Amino acid sequence: MPDVRRVCVAFLDCHTVAQRAANYLILSQNRLQRVFEFSVFNLDRMRVEVAKPVNHMFVDETERELLTGLIPASRDVPPSDAGADGTQGVEAQADDGAEAPANDGVDIDEYVDRALALVRLARRYVDREVRTEDLETTTVPAKWIIFTETRFLNNYYSSSTDDLVVVSLGRWRTAMAPPSALEFILRMTQAATAEFFLGVPSEHYFTKGCLFDYNEYIQDARLMVLVGDVCESCRRTAIEAGREAELVALLSIIDHTWIGDTTKSDSVASVLKKVFDYDLYVSRGLSANRLETFWDNVTSSSTQEFIRLLAAVLLAYLLLKFGLKAG
Ligand SMILES: [Zn+2]
């Protein structure tokens, strides 16, 4: 039996994405297999922690500079201007169908350096908390996946090191759905996990709908997200590398039938809709859109009631009009 393969998923500089719903979807994978152990972590909190005087001693000057420089970049609508439901910004920009220019964004390598510094700091912070709170069964994950809404220069949307994959949602457009943004996040989590643990040395050029497809632009990754397979060549490479258990575990999570649909009350899809207000089959953007939710409600359970109400209003209108004319 292989070691537990621990992966921590975190969101950084995200203001729009439905993080809690995404976390629920990511953690649901733990129930399906026992090789990979997914956890989630609030990295943004680290920046709050370093600002506290009590923590100054454990952050050096270089780190503090890196961290304070880690600010959301290239958003069209600053957080303070976002709507009350927080769904403007990324999503509003995405809906107008216009591509953000490639020179809009920050350098991806620079961002990865900053993210790595933040992960190192998070590890130190957790170590200290573990000692203080006597939580010695804690094992800090070796591998991290960070999703950000920061856009990168030249349309780059993902970069990886041995222990960290950074994925930008900054160029996600609702026109790319389906799949929904949450399915994209889930699939990118699985692709990063495959990259970390399957022993496949690199991506391949040809598009096969495989987690190891080389996708130059986020739009190209759509097929990989929809198909979500590990191709025969990559399967054989993984087995030759002695990673059969990891491969089997991965295959059990990439078949998304476990998500189910909203007609079954105990399905993951149902919980996502009821608890987090995110319908995987209706919501397209980074968070649930109010209009989408409205139409979903109209077209499902209360259709008949709605039609009845509409008919009553129409009848009242006609009666009023008839009555006025008769008078
Ligand atoms: Zn492949």
Task: Report the separation in Å between the CA atom of 264 and the middle of ligand 1, taken as the mean of its atom positions.
Answer: 33
Q: pLDDT tens, 104-153?
A: 889 999 999 989 988 988 898 888 889 988 898 888 999 999 999 999 99
Right CATH number for 5-288 from 3.40.50.620, 3.40.390.10, 1.10.3720.10, 3.30.450.20?
3.40.390.10
Of the pLDDT bands very low, low, confident and very high (cuts 50, 70, 90), residue 289 is low
Q: Confidence band (pLDDT; 50, 70, 90) for 99?
A: low
Rounded to the nearest whole angstrom, what is the distance from the C-alpha of residue 150 to the centroid of ligand 1?
Answer: 28
Range 192-210 average pLDDT:
94
Whole-number Å distance, alpha carbon 191 to ligand 1 midpoint, is: 11
For residue 83, name the pLDDT band (cuts at 50, 70, 90): very low
pLDDT averaged over every residue in the chain: 82
The alpha carbon of 269 and the centre of ligand 1 are apart by a number of angstroms equal to: 28
Q: 2 or 258: whose pLDDT is higher?
A: 258
CA distance 40 to 22: 10
CA of 29 to the centre of ligand 1 (A): 22
Assess whether pLDDT exceeds 60 at residue 296.
no
Interval between CA 236 and ligand 1 midpoint (Å): 10
Q: For residue 262, how far is its CA from the centre of ligand 1 (angstroms)?
A: 32
Phi then psi for 286, rounded to 5 degrees? -70, -25
- Label residue 89 left, alpha or beta by phi (over 0 means left) and psi (-120 to 50 means alpha): left
| Ligand 1: centre distance to CA 226 (Å) | 15
Which uninterrupted H or E stretch holds 165? strand 164-168
Question: Distance of alpha carbon 157 from its chain centroid, rounded?
Answer: 13
Evaluate if pTM is beyond 0.85. Answer: no
